[in-house]
């Protein structure tokens, strides 16, 4: 049933030649072959002789668990063999989560209990300002990654579609930021440690997304992330020099 429901999408993506083997990353003409009357057979990769994409018959929850474990096969399935267009909405929602966290920290940092002061911090402007700062930091981080990869491996990012695919992969792999809200709601003495673990998890996911999208080794993605963090922290330092609370 899961395979049958993907029939139309399968034909559309096959026409674009967008399939990849989740094991060896080689291009594939199809994910499965439909012999009619409910008889379906998963295609075998001609290069590695393994199923092109075993995840097409897996439950989405299993796929999500494998993605959380940062398995390259799960990332290839999501990026190349499915049509997921929630990266834009996911990015906005993650930025809203980060802005909300910063807004709470900004409110908690105030020692003034005057009602007018509390009202001032409750104004939408403070939240929008935090959202704008978080957006600029995220943009700086992504720009740092793209510049590093383009400088070191320009052949990997030759076309507009290459940039779009990598951007989509980076945005989707930042889903770990959604954990910021539960970490704040269930505030505990270990909340700062939880936030640090969330940050590390997001960076690991970003690294895996770069590695899978561009078919690289493990070193270059981390180097790109390192320069992305440098540029992001540079923006943070600039805001602090301007006297802004970030």
Mean pLDDT of 177-199: 80
In a domain, 73, yes or no: no
Whether residues 47 and 119 fall in one domain: no
- Residues 40, 30: Cα–Cα separation, whole Å: 12
Q: Is residue 204 part of a domain?
A: yes
Residues 144 and 233 in one domain: yes
Q: How confident is the model over 129-142, as pLDDT tens digits? A: 889 999 999 999 99
With respect to residue 197, please indicate whether it lies within any of the assigned structural domains: yes
Q: Report how many domains make up the chain.
A: 2
Structural domain for 140, as ranges = 86-242
Q: Is residue 74 part of a domain?
A: no
**How many CA atoms lie within 13 Å of 197's alpha carbon, on the beta-carbon side?**
7
Which of 35, 66, 97 is a domain's end point?
Answer: 66
Give the range among 12-16, 19-23, 176-180 with minimum mean pLDDT: 12-16
Ramachandran assignment for 215, one of left (phi > 0), alpha (psi -120 to 50 degrees), beta (any other): left
Q: Is residue 158 part of a domain?
A: yes
Using one digit for the tens of pLDDT, what is the confidence trace for 222-232?
A: 999 999 999 99
Q: What is the pTM of this model?
A: 0.82
Same domain, 45 and 139: no
Asked if residue 75 belongs to a domain, the reply is: no
């Amino acid at each position: 049933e899961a395979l049958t429901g993907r029939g139309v999408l399968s034909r559309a993506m096959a026409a674009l030649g967008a399939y990849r083997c989740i094991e060896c990353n080689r291009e594939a003409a199809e994910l499965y072959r439909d012999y009619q009357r409910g008889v379906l057979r998963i295609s075998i990769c001609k290069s590695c002789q393994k199923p092109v994409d075993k995840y097409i018959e897996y439950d989405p929850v299993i796929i999500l668990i494998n993605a959380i474990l940062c398995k390259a096969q799960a990332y290839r399935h999501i990026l190349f063999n499915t049509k997921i267009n929630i990266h834009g909405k996911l990015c906005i929602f993650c930025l809203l989560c980060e802005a909300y966290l910063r807004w709470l920290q900004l409110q908690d940092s105030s020692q003034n209990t005057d009602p007018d002061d509390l009202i001032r911090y409750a104004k939408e402007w403070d939240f929008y300002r935090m959202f704008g700062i978080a957006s600029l930091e995220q943009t700086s981080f992504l720009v740092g990654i793209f510049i590093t990869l383009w400088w070191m491996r320009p052949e990997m990012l030759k076309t507009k579609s290459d940039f779009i695919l990598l951007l989509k992969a980076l945005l989707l792999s930042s889903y770990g930021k959604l954990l910021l809200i539960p970490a704040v709601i269930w505030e505990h003495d270990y909340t700062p440690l939880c936030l640090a673990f969330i940050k590390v998890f997001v960076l690991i996911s970003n690294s895996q997304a770069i590695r899978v999208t561009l078919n690289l080794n493990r070193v270059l993605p981390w180097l790109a992330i390192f320069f992305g963090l440098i540029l992001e922290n540079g923006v943070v330092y600039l805001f602090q020099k301007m006297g802004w609370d970030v």
